[in-house]
Chains A and B, each alone.
Chain A
Amino acid sequence: MIEVKNISKSFDQVSVLKNVSILFEQGKTNLIIGQSGSGKTVLLKSIVGLHDVDEGKIFFDDTVFNELNFKDKKEMRKQIGMLFQGGALFDSSTVEENVIYPLEMFTNLSPSDKRERANECLKRVNIINVNNLYPSEISGGMQKRVAIARAIALNPRYLFCDEPNSGLDPRTAIVIDNLIKEITEEYNMTTIVNTHDMNSVMEIGDKVVFIYKGEKWWEGTKDDIFDTENEELNSFIFASKLSQKIRDLKNS
């Protein structure tokens, strides 16, 4: 479980997050949605400690993460996996080396055990026969899956995904979404996904939080998101012609 309580964050006098409180449940995929510039990436980066919050507390189960000292925070981070928007794979390392990297850094496994674990993770995300290729030699969807494999290599308790579907075609996006959901349930992790893709909401939104102008505007599940009366959320959900058409068809 991850809980943020009354967190606020400003950059140069500009308030980006305003008194946000959310509970993200374990074993579920928790989605943060919102328009570009609404503050959802800042929220995600604040939770993982890439930004220091101005006010509030961030709980990782019983631990107040943002109040830990540098050493303890570093230790805690070994239980965190993160999938970045662009994958953030190390360019100069092969696919296999990318997945082995956290094992190399934080375990004392033998080289063969590390390789075995890396292959296990790659197999789990359906990546085979590309171990010796570099990230630039594989497709965007494969890069995302390798990034997921790297994120789960150390069996993390918390998984963060920043716009995992950006730049992917709809079919590949669904594959990535389902993979995130499956892995979350399999490892019983607390997963937080940052997205503005409504398909993701429909696919994996166990819990959905809508951020608007740096504030939590709405929270619920994928099942009740379309019944909301919330004006800002409705304008976000039905922004595209396609979704407007579906709404009209449903209403008629």
Chain B
Amino acid sequence: MGLFYHIGRYFLLLKKVFAKPEKHSVYYKETLKEIQKLGINSMGIVAIISLFMGAVITIQTAYNTENPLLPTYLIGLGARDSILLEFSSTIVALILAGKIGSNIASEIGTMRVTEQIDALEIMGVNSASFLILPKIVASVVFAPFLTLLSMFIGIAGGWLAGTAAGVVTTENYVYGIQYAFNPFYITYSVIKIVVFAFLITTISAYHGYNSFGGSLEVGRSSTKAVVHSSIFILLFNLILTQLLLS
């Protein structure tokens, strides 16, 4: 019963969010601010994690293909497919759920408990739309760039680690990442991250917007935002994989 209650309220909130903006110029400025806050400020963490994950994936692939019958370019191929298909979309989304999900929920939750949202409503502003829509647009627009960045740095990290550890040569690694390349993998990954970005932003905003009480409640909302976003990312990962790759 509780689940249906929350789903109902979530869609009612979305209805409010996608109402016609009061003033497009203000929303445009807010969207640019959110791109900076949610997107550009996440580039560092995505880059660091991608670099190390790419390196680890390459070394693990090398370890699992230690067989004279298997060509070493398979290390590059395996690393590429893991990064493109799963890591740069799903794992990056889970990282973003922790970083921007908690940020969104705590920001909106604090605004709720300190009556800043009431102040917006009193002025005649659609607070849900004003606060949430720019965040959705910013994250949905910018998340594909984060995924592409993650792909590039992950593959580069794999090459660095593979050659430094002596498990693969540059030639074989480059040959492996080009071998039987299917461009649809990138499209698939971008589609997934767009859906995940939408889920992270809206679920986190829902929890923040419905915070009541004090700082403790805001903290709880923030935790719920991360947990629920992560669960829905995994669920939609399964659904989208089935729909797009089967």
Contacts and interface: CB of A to CB of B under 8 A. Distances in A.
B122 A48 contact: yes
A106 interface: yes
B66 interface: no
Given A75-B124, A77-B124, A78-B124, A104 B23 contact: yes
B116 A82 contact: no
Contacts, number: 55
Contacts of B124: 74-78, 80, 106
| Chain B contact residues, majority secondary structure | helix
| Chain A contact residues, majority secondary structure | mixed
Interface residues of B, number: 16
A84 interface: yes
A105 B126 CA distance: 11
Interface residues of A, number: 24
A216 B22 CA distance: 38
Contact of B122 (A80, A91, A101, A105): A80
Interface string A100-130: 0110111000000000000000000000000
Interface in A54-96: 74-78, 80-82, 84-86, 88-91
A50 B116 contact: no
Given A78-B124, A82-B122, A104-B23, A91 B110 contact: yes
Contacts of B22: 105-106
Given A74-B124, A88-B114, A91-B110, A105 B119 contact: no
Interface of A: 45, 48, 50, 74-78, 80-82, 84-86, 88-91, 101-102, 104-106, 160
5 contacts: A77-B121, A77-B122, A88-B116, A90-B119, A105-B125
